[in-house]
Chain A
Amino acid sequence: MADDLFKALADPTRRTILDELTERSGQTLFEICSRLSMKHQLGISRQGVSQHLAVLEAAGLVETRREGRYKFHDLNTAPLRQITERWPVPHPSGPEDSTP
């Protein structure tokens, strides 16, 4: 599971897909492809985007949902919690904030 997560995050295109799904969850494959090509000038085929989505889905970061005849992709950031559970981030009100 952790391997799937880190593999999914290792690719810049997949991180861009996550950025775009953060902006709006629930996108069709067409919308994701449009965003990558028009906003990010990424020349990836639809098949290529589908493959990236499959990797993100395997990591649990993207979930697909069928609604009638359409298929939407939703963002799920829950698996990212594994990272901070493994390597805890210092609490913001930690020693840094304390004035000498």
Chain B
Amino acid sequence: MKIHMTSVFVDDQAKAEQFYTEILGFVKKHDVPVGEQDRWLTVVSPDEPDGTELLLEPAGHPAARTYRDTLVQDGIPLAQFAVDDVQAEYERLRGLGVRFTQEPLEMGDVTTAVFDDTCGNLIQIATEPQ
């Protein structure tokens, strides 16, 4: 078994596409219309075009709102991405206007930071353990 795809609910797929590609730097992999307005929209890391896809899924279900709002209030991230240097990525993203709810925090050999993806979720970035 492999983890081929994972997903986050997003308020607005067009906005999510822009944030995840232009700001975070992912690359769009699939974009297929589903139903009247929804899209099957996935992105991948440019470093791993055949790696795990992230599905930017419309947060239309009423339960999704309660679920995400409660987690965001407590600062809990819904996804985690690996970066080489959390501090450098923090500065780059902040320069692009990204809002962090947790500035870089060194805990032993792991450094993490948490930001708002502007689509209703908090995302954690972490250094990969060496």
Contacts and interface: CB of A to CB of B under 8 A. Distances in A.
Q: For chain A, which range describes its interface: under 10, 10 to 19, 20 to 34, or 35 or more residues?
A: 10 to 19
B74 A71 contact: yes
B110 A38 contact: yes
A29 B74 contact: yes
Given A38-B110, A69-B69, A30 B76 contact: yes
B82 interface: no
B69 A28 contact: no
B72 interface: yes
A39 interface: yes
A27 B73 contact: no
Nearest to B114: A30
A24 B103 contact: yes
A28 B107 contact: no
A34 interface: yes
Given A28-B102, A30-B102, A39 B107 contact: yes
B105 interface: yes
A28 B112 CA distance: 14
Contact of A38 (B77, B108, B122): B108
13 contacts: A24-B103, A24-B105, A28-B76, A28-B101, A29-B74, A30-B122, A31-B105, A34-B105, A34-B112, A35-B107, A70-B101, A71-B74, A71-B75
| In the A-B complex, the 10 residue pairs with the closest CB atoms | A28-B75, A30-B75, A38-B107, A29-B74, A31-B102, A30-B76, A69-B72, A71-B73, A39-B107, A70-B101
